[in-house]
Homo-oligomer: A and B are copies of this chain.
Amino acid sequence: MPEGPLTATVTHMSETSTVRVGLLGCGTVGGALVALMREQAGEIAERTGVRLEISRVAVRSASKDRSVTISPAVLTTDPASVVSARDVDVVVELIGGIEPAFDLILDALKEGKPVVTANKELIANLGAELYAAASSSGVDLLFEASTAGAIPLVRVLRESLVGEHVTRVMGIVNGTTNYVLTRMTEAGVSYAEALTEAQNLGFAERDPAADVEGYDAAAKAAIIASIVFGTRVVAGDVYREGITTITADDISYATRLGFVVKLLAIAERSESVDGGPDEVNVRVHPAMVPSDHPLASVRDSFNAVFVEGDACDQMMLYGRGAGGRPTASAVLGDLVDAAINLRQGTHRPFVAPERRRIRTIDDLRTEYCINLDVVDEPGVLASVAGVFGAHGVSIRSMEQLGLQHEARLIFITHTAREADVQATIAGLRSLGAVDSVNSVLRVVGDED
């Protein structure tokens, strides 16, 4: 394992097979990438004939302490100079956020330099613009690390499943919320307690909104939907509910009924009602998943993506969705690809994005678990069931638990339309015998 300053490895490189990398940003992931490249450069060269050399690194402050030692000759505080440098063949963008990352990547692509990025926000919002620039320059834009960290989701969806009619992708793509839900399930703690614990362990930010409100997962859902359905979906197109309203009660009823609660990012193909091209529904919300479903066993801060297709049937990819070294591992896989393609004068095929209609949440069809408290009197169940029936929502199972003068009823429906279920809930709320509708959770993974 070659260690030491980056320049030390240069002497081993054969000029013809060296690909020079310009790195934008050297924080947690960037530092891990530099370390990983030092460890693995020799083996990668043996395996692929390409030796990767980091020739320039743009940082915010040249004097900051870093986890890796980088020669001052390589460091700069001017990222644009890295993009345009003659000794940079491939650009790796690890700054994050929209600007200046967007302009820097665009400039690199326009100069004919392949780009590897881990920037979820940028790809989820302006991916199509960047993709078009890459396509018109005929160079790679690779972004495996933008979604689900080390999990090789983008490559598998784009390449392994290129011949597959994918019907649905369901992912646990946010480690913070999965940790919180795992603790609520396994330790029986409240949402607030689990979140505090996650914050103390560094799994959750002090301001956890991006995670717990589902924004992070929604951006990833947009990227997944774009790749798998060859269509343009941006973060704002994604229906989104977070986990902040999930109670310990919801979790314990789910357990009792044989389910676990997970925050899922779902991209689903739906036949158009008017006979047009297939539509897409893309959404993030907590869901009840059967406890023998592969997603149910994804614990703690791990991520996993479950893919259903006509030919492959079911597939799941599981791994670390975040963290410096796992993310750097995904960046490095892309970087080797970009370097090989550059040397061979090729790139991955570009797909012209198609704008499919995105189905609204009202038209969603799934199963629902509805938990309500009613007055414990004869005839109440009949009137409650009547509300379901009036909106065309068919009941699959019902469990009643007595609580002194009240009863708690837990219904699981057959597949129903979201708008009909919302109308049912409104109807139940206006029924005198219903004291409260405690929760409504979608049920997935149990459809057949």
Contacts and interface: CB of A to CB of B under 8 A. Distances in A.
Interface of A: 32, 36-37, 39-40, 43-44, 46-50, 144, 150-152, 155-156, 159-165, 230, 292, 294, 296-299, 302, 304, 309-320, 323, 325-326, 328-330, 332-333, 335-337, 340, 344, 346, 349, 351-352
B163 A40 contact: yes
A312 B84 CA distance: 31
A54 to B, nearest CB: 13
A282 B36 CA distance: 26
Given A46-B351, A46-B352, A160 B165 contact: no
Given A49-B349, A349-B340, A313 B325 contact: yes
Counting every copy of the chain, the complex holds 2
A330 B160 contact: yes
Contacts of A317: 315-318
A271 to B, nearest CB: 13
Contacts of A310: 39, 325
A316 B313 contact: no
A13 to B, nearest CB: 16
Nearest to A292: B299
The 4 nearest A-B residue pairs measured at CB: A163-B332, A152-B160, A315-B319, A297-B297
B326 A47 contact: no
Nearest to A37: B163
Contacts of A302: 314
16 contacts: A36-B163, A39-B310, A40-B165, A46-B351, A50-B349, A144-B160, A150-B313, A152-B159, A155-B159, A163-B329, A311-B328, A312-B325, A315-B318, A318-B318, A344-B344, A346-B346
A349 B46 CA distance: 10
A302 to B, nearest CB: 8
Contacts of A144: 160
A345 B49 CA distance: 17
Nearest to A341: B346
Given A323-B313, A325-B310, A47 B346 contact: no
B316 A312 contact: no
A349 B47 CA distance: 8
